[in-house]
Each structure stands twice: as C-alpha cells, then as structure tokens.
C-alpha cells in the first residue's frame, strides 16, 4: 500500500470515529476508495483467472450493416482544442505515464505522445486519453484490466500505449477499475471491473472484462460518465441508463433492499445497464434529461425542459444537496440547487464533496470541508447547500473534483487548485493542504495555456496548448 493510500486509510478511520461520536450512520463506502488489492507491485501480470482470453487485436465486435449516424452532445471533445497531456501527483503504479522510475511529480510534467489529445480523464489509479483521430491511449494500474491492453511485460503499464480498436471514439470515461468509450455512432463499450464493499464484482456477472463489451445495446447514447464503480449513459431520447455498484444509491434505479450483490434479485440486475425512471418535479410526466455527471458514489442529471438538477447516491456529508444525510436510491429534485436561481452548466463530485459551475463562470461547493476541498477557508465547516468560492474571482470555464481536491480552469487558461496536499495533485510544490484557491504553477505551464482538467484519486491530468 502506497503512502497516499495509507493516509487515506487514516483519514477514513478519523472520519468514522468522528461520525460514530455524533451517532451518525456510516455507510460502508467510507473506505471503499482504498480499493483493497489494487496497485500491486509493478511487473506482476494482471490476474488472468477472471478475464476472457486476449486476442492480438481487441476489435469491438462488428454490428449488423446499417446506416451510421454520428451522435453529438455539447460536452463532446469535438468542441475541445487539442492539447498536450501533462500529469502530476502520485505515480507509483504508472498513472502519470512517465515511466517506471517516476514515483511522483509535484509540478506538471509532459507525457510524451505523438498524438494530439482532445480528452484526458482519470478517476482511480489509471489515465485514459482520447486522440484527435478518435483513438485511445491508456496507462496506469491494470490489476483489474482497466487499461484494456496486455501489460504482462514488466513496467509496460507505466508508459502510454494505444489500444487497437476498430471504431472511432467520440468520448471516454474512467472509474476506479474500469474504462468506457462512446463511439461516434452512439454505442458504448467498457472493460475492467466494478467493486463494492465485498471486493470485485466483475464488469458483468461473467467477471472482469479485458476486451470491450457493449453496455447499452439497442440504445443511441450521446454522453457517458463514470463514478468510482458505476457507469452512467445518456441517450438521444433523454433517458438515463446505469450499471455497476448500487450500495450507496448511485444507480438511481435499485431499491436499498436490493442494492447489495446478495439480494434475491442477484448481481446481474445491478451490473446490467438499466433505465432510470423519475417524474418531473411538480408533474406527472416522466423527466427527460439533457446532461449527466457522476462522482465517486453519486450521480447528477439536468432535466431537459426546466434545467432543474436531480441527484441520487451517497449523502453523508450533504454532497448531493439534501440536508438530512440520507442516501437517495432514486432521482430526486434538489431544492438547495434550485434555490440559487442559477443555471448550472457543470457538476463534479469527489468522495465527499461536490463542485458546481454556473453560466456566469462562478464556482460553488457543497459537502465535507476537511483538508480544504471546498475552498472556503480554514475556518469553514461542511456546507449543506452550494456556497460561492468568493476568493476565486476570475471567470471559470471548467471544474474538476478529485477524491479530496478541487480544480478550476479560468477562461484565460489558468488552473486553480485547493484541498488535500499529500497527493501532490495541486501543483503547489509541497504537501500542505490548501484551503483557498491557489494558482497552479510549473515550468511546463510557463509557455502553455491549459484547455482541459481532470482529477482522480491520487493524480491530476491537464491538457495544454503551446502559446503562439
């Protein structure tokens, strides 16, 4: 277990002790992000006992001949300026893509690639990059086949490598142990593994997947997002499909009594992608959605007509907007988000906190305050409703939440970070916690403008373009 994982264990033990003292109910998910058994010593082949045989060419199965129609959504990387990937933070399992000798980076470092990148994402301990040609590059922990490629050669997981897929990819998402891709004609494929409090669940009831598996057959999907151990898909009809771990309510379609793998409905009903149903607030009509976001144990969705936000999942620190600390197992309209009369354009969530970006470029945070992840100052406590990060005065165009850190990207390409410093994800040059937004700096940023940000459990990924 690495230093950051040890610190995370200590942090969670402290959190559990505090919660017990206050007679609060503590969900098993408080320690799930430790991901027992993952991040094994480099050079060990992935556990092949649960994976399907690997072919040389991991081509997605061919479909019946039909007319291909390229799907579109305003969040697609098509609308992103191609950039150069930079990484920082912990790199002990290769998640920085800088080779087997690099254990950490306190400042952003360039990942050397021949391709231009339009999307770079991370969640747990691996990184996924989408090239401008629709190809996929992965690096990092591959214990549960999240990379989608063979890493039996010692150290190979620490270097970027391209996947041999037969479809052009439009969007990617990454969880703690899984990766998902959206093809240009609206099909979703995934590989890797989901986990719950008892350990490995498999990507399906058949176990861990090393090769791409279609997740929403028969549906035309326009956007995908991943939580730590769940996948969320938005269709062209405004419907939402989810699959994966359901223990904290993050699927939004499984009652609490059936959320565990031991329920009489079985694990297949949880892992298999299924539709999320809910009524519009104040109406008998079924809600249709225009956008989706996912955090470690939570999911958010924007209703198409009203722009209202619905949420479900873990709420032990009020992170999904309800002040009763009760988890939500079905979608509910969030009154605390509506009370601000804001048009929310993006929502990002970590382990116990949530960030919101409004149409004016202002950043709000809600949830747990420890280690500074809300950016509201050292004297600030947990928040039960979205609270403006006042010291961040620049207009922001993007936000990203790691487990216990927050990042914001301004319209001039500057990155600000705050939260836990021990993972070195903030680019401050030290390991001190940061309680208010601080500008990220480093030699590799001096002549570049950042165009994209993502933050995972222990590392951060930036996309930057060279200044003319």
Residues 432-453: tens digit of each pLDDT: 999 999 999 999 999 999 999 9
Q: What is the mean pLDDT of residues 171-185?
A: 98
pLDDT at 175 > cutoff 50: yes
pLDDT at 70: 83
Those residues with Cβ within 8 angstroms of residue 283's Cβ, 6 or more apart along the chain or in another chain? none
Q: Per mean pLDDT, which of 35-44, 56-65, 395-404 is the most reliable?
A: 395-404
Q: What is the mean pLDDT of residues 268-288?
A: 95
pTM strictly above 0.75: yes
Could you tell me how far CA 238 lies from the centroid of its own chain? 21
Q: What is the mean pLDDT of residues 376-404?
A: 97
pLDDT at 78: 63
Identify the band that residue 81 occupies on the pLDDT scale cut at 50, 70 and 90.
confident
Q: String of b and e for 136-158 (b: at least 16 CB within 10 Å)?
A: bbbbbbbbbbbbbbbbeeeebbb
pLDDT at 208 > cutoff 90: yes
Least confident of 23-32, 224-233, 264-273, 333-342: 23-32
Identify the band that residue 39 occupies on the pLDDT scale cut at 50, 70 and 90.
low
Rounded CA-CA distance 203/248 in Å is: 18
Q: Give all strands of the β-sheet with 209-214 in edge-to-edge order.
A: 169-174, 178-183, 188-192, 209-214
pLDDT at 99 > cutoff 60: yes
pLDDT at 104 > cutoff 60: yes
Q: What is the mean pLDDT of residues 156-181?
A: 97
pLDDT at 49: 37
Asked if residue 437 lies in contact with residue 429, where contact means CB atoms within 8 angstroms, the answer is no
Identify the band that residue 38 occupies on the pLDDT scale cut at 50, 70 and 90.
low
| Per-residue tokens: 338 | 């509506």
Least confident of 127-131, 261-265, 367-371: 261-265
Residues 215-256: tens digit of each pLDDT: 999 999 999 999 999 999 999 999 999 999 999 999 999 999
pLDDT at 362: 98
**What are the structural domains, with CATH classification, of the chain?**
70-466 (2.130.10.30)
Residue, of 230 and 60, whose pLDDT is higher: 230
Rounded CA-CA distance 6/14 in Å is: 12
Identify the band that residue 468 occupies on the pLDDT scale cut at 50, 70 and 90.
confident
Residues 291-300: tens digit of each pLDDT: 999 999 999 9
Identify the band that residue 264 occupies on the pLDDT scale cut at 50, 70 and 90.
confident
434 phi and psi angles, rounded to 5 deg: -120, 120
Q: DSSP of 249-285, one letter per residue?
A: STTSSS-GGG-STTSTT-THHHHS-EEE--BPTTSSS
pLDDT at 205 > cutoff 60: yes
Rounded CA-CA distance 296/402 in Å is: 9
Q: What is the mean pLDDT of residues 364-378?
A: 98
Name the average pLDDT for the chain.
88
Q: String of b and e for 353-370 (b: at least 16 CB within 10 Å)?
A: bbbbbbeebbbbbbbbbb
Q: What is the mean pLDDT of residues 418-441?
A: 97
Q: What percent of the chain has pLDDT over 70?
A: 85
pLDDT at 25 > cutoff 70: no
Identify the bridge partners of residue 454 per DSSP, sorted by sequence position: 461
């Amino acid at each position: 277990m690495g230093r950051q994982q040890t610190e995370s264990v200590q942090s969670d033990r402290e959190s559990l002790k505090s919660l017990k003292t206050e007679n609060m109910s503590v969900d098993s998910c408080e320690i799930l992000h430790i991901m027992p058994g993952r991040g094994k010593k480099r050079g060990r082949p992935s556990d092949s006992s649960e994976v399907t045989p690997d072919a040389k060419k991991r081509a997605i199965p061919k479909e019946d001949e039909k007319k291909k129609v390229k799907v579109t959504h305003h969040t697609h990387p098509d609308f992103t300026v191609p950039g150069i990937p930079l990484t920082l933070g912990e790199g002990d399992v290769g998640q920085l893509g800088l080779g087997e000798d690099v254990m950490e980076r306190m400042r952003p470092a360039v990942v050397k690639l021949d391709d231009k990148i339009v999307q770079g994402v991370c969640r747990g301990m691996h990184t996924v990059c989408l090239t401008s040609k629709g190809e996929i590059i992965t690096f990092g922990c591959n214990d549960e086949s999240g990379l989608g490629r063979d890493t039996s050669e010692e150290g190979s997981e620490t270097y970027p490598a391209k996947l041999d897929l037969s479809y052009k990819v439009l969007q990617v998402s990454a969880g703690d142990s899984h990766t998902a891709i959206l093809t240009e004609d609206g099909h979703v494929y995934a590989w890797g593994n989901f986990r719950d409090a008892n350990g490995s669940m498999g990507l399906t009831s058949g176990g861990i997947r090393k090769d791409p598996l279609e997740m929403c057959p028969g549906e035309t999907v326009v956007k995908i997002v991943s939580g730590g151990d769940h996948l969320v898909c938005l269709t062209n009809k405004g419907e939402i499909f989810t699959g994966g771990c359901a223990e904290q309510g993050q699927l939004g379609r499984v009652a609490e009594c059936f959320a565990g793998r031991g329920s009489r409905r079985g694990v297949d009903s949880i892992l298999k992608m299924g539709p999320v149903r809910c009524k519009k607030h104040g109406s008998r009509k079924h809600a249709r959605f225009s956008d989706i976001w996912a955090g470690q144990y939570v999911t958010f969705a924007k209703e198409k007509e009203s722009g209202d936000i619905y949420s479900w999942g873990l709420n032990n620190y009020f992170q999904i907007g309800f002040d009763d600390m009760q988890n939500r197992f079905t979608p509910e309209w969030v009154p605390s988000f509506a009370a601000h009369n804001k048009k929310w354009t993006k929502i990002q969530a970590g382990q116990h906190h949530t960030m919101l970006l409004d149409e004016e470029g202002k950043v709000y945070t809600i949830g747990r305050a420890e280690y500074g992840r809300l950016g509201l100052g050292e004297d600030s406590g947990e928040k039960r409703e979205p609270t403006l990060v006042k010291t961040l005065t620049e207009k922001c165009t993007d936000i990203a939440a790691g487990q216990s850190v927050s990042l914001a990207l301004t319209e001039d390409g500057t990155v600000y970070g705050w939260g836990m410093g021990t993972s070195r994800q903030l680019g401050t040059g030290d390991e001190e916690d940061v309680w208010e937004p601080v500008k990220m700096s480093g030699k590799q940023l001096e002549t570049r403008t950042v165009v994209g940000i993502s933050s995972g459990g222990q590392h951060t990924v930036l996309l930057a373009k060279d200044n003319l």
